[in-house]
Structure 1
Amino acid sequence: MTIADEAAAQALAEELANIPAPPVFPTAAEERAHRKRRVAAGYRVLARFGLDEGIAGHITARDPELTDHFWTAPFGRYFGAILPGDLLLVNDEGKVVEGEGPLNQAAFAIHSEVHRARPDVVGAVHAHGPHGKSFSSLHRTLAPLTQDACAFHGSHSFHEDYTGVVFDPEEGRRIAESLGDGKAVILANHGHLTVGRTVDSAIWWFVTMERSFQAELMARAAGDPVPLDEETARMTAEQVGGEEVGWFCFQPIWERIVSERPELAE
């Protein structure tokens, strides 16, 4: 290791030391309430950033006690008005076991398989953002053009098999296979999906990936962008792509949403 490498490693360690850890809850009930508040806030974030598209899109959070169940919003509700009490608890057979309202069958087909394949995943987000949709038609993964895009370097994939609206859990299984152990997957001619070990990080990855798509589309429209070299891209991914970083990046957004709708924090 060179002196420069050692200095970079030390700087990274010091920076990560400044990032707090996600909260730990003494009971499943408290953790469940926390996750539900984050899901509701996430829907409002998608609405705020213009990432809602009619009835398309869904956020899920694994239940901390019934780990093969997840929480999500009822089908067809306006994202910007979702409250924790509105959420549905869905079991592994696609049955609503708590809450009122219809279930988005595409949410079950995709998210049930993602949660089944990835026991480490707590939160998952899919929506139809304009830049995610546009970029997905290029049938490529993100290039390491910017610091923010490097959060996904080596940690996202491309799913080629578009077969229409996803109602079949078998297609959800294939999406989960394409996702692998990464934090995101680009769905051909469709959009993107992100996951996290917290709901917070899953939402942040979705938002920042949408913006990274926008940045790359703009750069390619303007000229011939120059990507970072592999070593620098990997180093930057270590700096900005960790789960704790993703969780922490969401906290200012949470503060803004709660300052406007304090009932979300109750």
Structure 2
Amino acid sequence: MRVHPRARAKRGLLHTLAAPPTNAHRSQRVSDDTRTTTHESPAPSLDGLSYGNWTEAEKLALSCRILAKEGHCETLAGQITVRQPDGSFLTTPLAHAFSEIRPDSVMRIDDSLRVLEGRGVPNPAVRFHLWVYRRRPDVNCVIHTHPPYVSALSMTGEPLQIAHMDATPFFDDCAFLPEWPGLPIADVEGEIISAALGTKRCVLLANHGFLAATPTIEESLYMSVLIERAARNQLIAQSAYGRLKLVDPALARESHDFLLQRSIVNASFAMFARQITGERP
């Protein structure tokens, strides 16, 4: 009997789907006894991802414009600082919107907020960034803003919940300061916020906003974009249903480590930058 080619192909597909997976192709194994999941396949290759090539002043300016596009800075509240090898800091002048910042807007200051290069006056709230740098020698870029959804979440008294894959970069990496210590322009607020941050990459500040503190501009920007989106998703889900289904901790850790690979962070920064500049990779 002659078998139509389309039927033959369908049988082949069904046979493939029905066949048990081999060790080479098995991506998950779930134990009925422990209900834990292990992943056996090697991580996918990330070779070929496109990155940019910018100076630190250019990356700082791009970060400002990306954050403006993401709705992070609707007032004068919000700062970015970048530690330099000589102990000085790059930042932006007070009373300039993030959307206005260009590389030649960037100023360099010392740890007393004195201007070393550039024009303008630094934001006095940069003072609390200095406490983070003192506690964390691994940190070279601090971003602090009051975006709408993070601000709304900060008003609920609840921490960020890891209930979606896109929130997993914050798994065990986002602290929560449950009380607002007041305007962050004095040393006492810097002590409180830096202590709350601890060794983590981010801290959600009750009745306030958030802070991201990482080794690079790219990573701090990446975390800043992701935390606002994670807060938005959490608030939408809670308003629709109330209770959240949290991600399994083991899987959240695995996803956290994967999504915070330098290649993914830097490629994400380059993608955000192209959306601002209109450049192609």
Consecutive unaligned residues of structure 2, counting only runs of 5 or more, are 1-25, 30-36
Alignment of 1:96-107 (within 5 A): 96-107=115-126
Deviation at 1:234, TM superposition (A): 1.6
Q: Which of 88, 93, 117 is the equivalent residue of 2:135?
A: 117
Query: Once the 2 structures are TM-superposed, how far is the Cα of residue 163 of structure 1 from its aligned partner?
Result: 2.4
Runs of 4+ more than 6 Å apart: 21-24
Match of residue 54, structure 1, among 72, 75, 78: 75
Q: Which runs of 5+ in 1 are unaligned?
A: 25-32
| TM-score (normalizing by structure 1) | 0.84
Q: Is the aligned partner of 1:85 residue 2:104? A: yes
How far has the Cα of 1:215 moved from its partner?
0.1
Aligned equivalent of 1:219, options 230, 237, 244: 237
* Cα distance in structure 2, aligned partners of 1:213 and 1:250: 20
- Decide which structure has the larger Cα Rg and report it: 2
* Residue in 2 that maps onto 1:27: none
**Alpha-carbon distance between aligned partners in 2 of 1:54 and 1:132, rounded to the nearest angstrom:** 15
Deviation per CA, 1:29-50: give whole Å up to 9, x if none.
Answer: xxxx711111111111111112
Q: Find the partner of 2:42 among 8, 11, 16.
A: 11
Kindly state the Cα deviation for residue 251 of structure 1 after the two structures are TM-superposed: 1.2
- Size of the alignment, in residue pairs? 247
2:119 and 2:157 map into 1 onto residues whose CA distance is: 38
Cα distance in 2, alignment partners of residues 110 and 19 from structure 1:
39
RMSD: 2.5
1:251/1:239 CA distance change after superposition, 3 Å: same
Deviation of the 1:73 alpha carbon: 0.6
Task: Give CA-to-partner distance per residue, 1:206-264, whole Å, 9 cap, x none.
Answer: 0111000000000000002211122222222122134443232211011222327x9xx
Q: Normalising by the residue count of structure 2, what TM-score does the alignment of the two structures yield?
A: 0.80
1:47-104 CA distance string (max 9 Å, x none):
11121121110111111x31x2111110010211211111121111221111110111
Pair 1:131-2:155 in alignment? no
Structure with bigger helix share is 1
Tell me, yes or no, if the aligned pair for 1:139 and 1:158 is still in contact at 8 Å. no
1:207 equivalent to 2:225? Answer yes
